[in-house]
Amino acid sequence: MTDLQTRTAPPRAGALRRAAPALLGYAAVRALGLLVLVLWSAARDKSAYTLLTARWDALWYVRVAELGYGYEVRLPNGDVHSNLAFFPLLPWLERLVAAVSPLSYADGGFVVSLVASLAAAWGIFAVADHVYGRRAGVCAVLLWAVLPVGIVQSMAYSESLFTALAAWSLYAVLTGRWVTAGALALAAGLTRPVGTAVVAAVWAAAIASFVAERRALSAGRADSGAGAPGGPAGRAPSPAGRVTGMLLAPLGTAGYVLWVGHRTGTGPLGYLDVQAGWRNGFDGGRAFAGFVADKFTSFPSALAGAGLVLGVASVVWLYAVGVRQRQPLPLLVHSGVVTLLALCASSYFGSKPRLLMPAFPLLLPLALLLARARPRRSAGVLGFLAVVGAVYGAFWLNGSGPP
């Protein structure tokens, strides 16, 4: 595995100018998706805004913001859907927006998601630009924008907020800002259960940095810090900073999980019982494999099954390519943990594409291909995917939508 990239980050104003093409392209793709959604919804006599802010998980986040924790729904089959399953950072931000403006909690969720999606796009660009260069950074952002489930980035969901925190935490690791990386990982851990992926990335990078430094010292190299991963070029990374970042990183996830266990009286892992009430858990992918296998019992559904197999194979292939291309360790750890948790969850199979959305390093091999192609060809591919994604997003939300 290669060492982390150790170039210093550009000044903030220069970084924004450098990211401007990616952010403008991202905004254009999202605007296209929203326009198609508005037109499609109007044709079906539905409200596009309601689809974005007041259905599925968005309703649960609003209930947390409005009522606090403790709301639950008991289903006829005995299952208990508790709002304790939803991590608190997005509802907190919804409350904040509602407190300082005339907007409702649902409006606040929409505003937070729009702002967070731009922050996520900038963070993805920063990471890809740092590792592979500006063109690859632009292509990575646009690929993330044109994902078939990209419309979720504009919904009052937590995916955009989490991806923004994860991307900037990873960038902080790559540029040696360990305390910032840990603080952002803490916030990511208050956003979604998969915040453990960011924690794992911070810890893996810090441990690798310590190991590389010790090896350098044992080899008697006077410049041991300059070549060690995790610090700006020419300056040894601070052990205290790394340790502080490692200590901060897990506090968000651990704090909320322990609080849920205390509140429910079910012990430190009580959050797992809450998830079990939603029939969700980690089973190593057994339930998902059975779900895919069932698709092959008849011809029409076999096509969907083949598509699922191809999709999973593509994800695994992209990860393998990232390993072969020697992506920095924290990127591989983050995308690996996100992918593992998404594919091995025991329920909500239709949600897996959006659960994979924060694993943006998976897109970097494709971004490199597009960056190396002729600009006209890359623009054509991305433009086509943007149209397909916009149409699919409108169709999806006006149909079954994300559960």
Residues 6 or more apart in contact with residue 330 via CB below 8 angstroms: 4, 170, 173, 174, 201, 202, 204, 205
pLDDT at 300: 81
pLDDT at 234: 38
pLDDT at 222: 45
Which residue in this structure is represented by tokens 């433009």?
Answer: 383
| pLDDT tens digit sequence for 175-186 | 999 999 999 999
Query: Count H helices, E strands: the chain?
Result: 19, 2
More confident residue, 246 or 13: 246
pLDDT at 403: 66
67 confidence band (pLDDT: 50, 70, 90): very high
pLDDT at 259: 97
Residues 6 or more apart in contact with residue 291 via CB below 8 angstroms: 349
The mean pLDDT of the chain is: 91
More confident residue, 347 or 81: 81
Overall average pLDDT of the 96-117 stretch:
97
User: pTM (2 decimals)?
Assistant: 0.93
The span from the CA of 189 to the CA of 297, in Å, is 40
SS3 81: strand
Q: Which one-letter amino acid corresponds to residue 240?
A: A
Overall average pLDDT of the 124-133 stretch:
97
CB atoms within 10 A of CB 254: 16
pLDDT at 227: 40
Percentage of residues of the chain with pLDDT beyond 90: 76
Q: Is-contact 141 22, C-beta < 8 A?
A: yes
The span from the CA of 357 to the CA of 345, in Å, is 15
| pLDDT tens digit sequence for 309-352 | 999 999 999 999 999 999 999 999 999 999 999 999 887 788 89
Indicate whether 224 pLDDT > 70.
Answer: no
| pLDDT tens digit sequence for 233-285 | 434 567 999 999 999 999 999 999 999 999 999 999 899 999 999 988 888 88
Q: Is-contact 85 345, C-beta < 8 A?
A: no
